[in-house]
Amino acid sequence: MIIIGVIPARYGSTRFPGKPLVMLKGKPLLQWVVEGARKSKLLSKVIVATDDERIQKLCHEIKVDVVMTSPDCPTGTDRLFEATKNLNFDVAINVQGDEPLIDETYIDPLAKAFLENPGLDMATLAHGLEPQDIDNKNAVKVIKNQKSEAIYFSRFAIPYSRKNFETGSTAALKHIGLYGYTKAFLQKFCSTEPTELELHESLEQLRALHLGAKIKVIQVEKPTYGVDTEDDLRKLEALLK
């Protein structure tokens, strides 16, 4: 099975323009992600998908494959699809370009899920919820069945409970936005218009559930650290000290 890692990297972020090239402890943010992905033991190749020549230039400097894509891609998943539609692979792992601490401990469990589960369409990650996550609409929750396949994702508190949340509960988990897709399902997903559920929750994985996808949910111990704003970058710098 050929499993590749693709890092969508857009220059024109609304909240943080130029984010992939911003410096974190002496290295561009994107370089951290590339170096983390290269630690994977299961990826055949790492590719950056971008729409900007400045990011392309950095990729050449750090010697990682780069594919230029349209600036009109509405999501990172669409950028991944455009970058890979003519490539030979079985599974693509969508590695978030703004999560500099991503490494093999997150990527390889995703890749391994496809090796161990024939017929899987997608895989994603989650970890335990903290009490403050329950009502935080920026913390996406996921519930799963006995096969560890996703039943539903929501920004709201799921499942509804008549009792107080207990630390350590596994009724719901906090979703981490890393995904693996088979090539066939990626094409199906990106060829389908956003669904009503997806638009209501602003969660594109609900389109996959609407299409009947089997989405394996792998639980990991630690959260990831995304950089959406300059304040996030400062917090991460302090953490790395």
pLDDT for 74 beyond 90:
no
Name the domain count of the chain: 2
Q: What's the pLDDT score for residue 16?
A: 84
Q: What's the pLDDT score for residue 184?
A: 96
Listed range (17-21, 95-99, 225-229) with the worst mean pLDDT: 225-229
pLDDT for 182 beyond 80:
yes
Write out pLDDT tens, residues 1-30: 999 999 999 898 777 889 999 999 999 999
Q: What's the pLDDT score for residue 8?
A: 94
Specify whether 128 is located in the same domain as 206.
yes
Q: What's the pLDDT score for residue 229?
A: 86
pLDDT for 73 beyond 90:
no
Band the pLDDT of 218: cuts 50, 70, 90: very high
Mean pLDDT rounded to a whole number for the chain: 92
What is the 3-class SS of the chain, one letter each residue? CCEEEEEEECCCCCCCCCHHHCEECCEEHHHHHHHHHCCCCCCCEEEEEECCHHHHHHHHHCCCEEEECCCCCCCHHHHHHHHHCCCCCCEEEECCCCCCCCCHHHHHHHHHHHHHCCCCCEEEEEECCCHHHCCCCCCCEEEECCCCEEEEEECCCCCCCCCCCCCCCCCCEEEEEEEEEEHHHHHHHHCCCCCHHHHHHCCCHHHHHHCCCCEEEEECCCCCCCCCCHHHHHHHHHHHC
> In this prediction, what percent of the chain has a pLDDT beyond 90?
73
- CATH (domain of 215): 3.90.550.10
Note whether residue 110 is domain-resident. Answer: no
Q: What is the mean pLDDT of residues 96-108?
A: 94
Q: What is the mean pLDDT of residues 118-140?
A: 91
Band the pLDDT of 168: cuts 50, 70, 90: low
Note whether residue 186 is domain-resident. Answer: no
Greater confidence (135 vs 180) lies with 180
The domain in which residue 4 lies consists of 1-102+225-241
Q: What's the pLDDT score for residue 148?
A: 96
Q: What's the pLDDT score for residue 14?
A: 74
Q: What's the pLDDT score for residue 204?
A: 94
**174 token code pair:** 């906090």
Specify whether 91 is located in the same domain as 169.
no
Q: What's the pLDDT score for residue 167?
A: 66
Q: What is the mean pLDDT of residues 142-150?
A: 96
Residues 6+ apart with CB under 8 A from 209: 150, 152, 153, 197, 215
Specify whether 149 is located in the same domain as 198.
yes
Specify whether 86 is located in the same domain as 24.
yes
Specify whether 200 is located in the same domain as 218.
yes
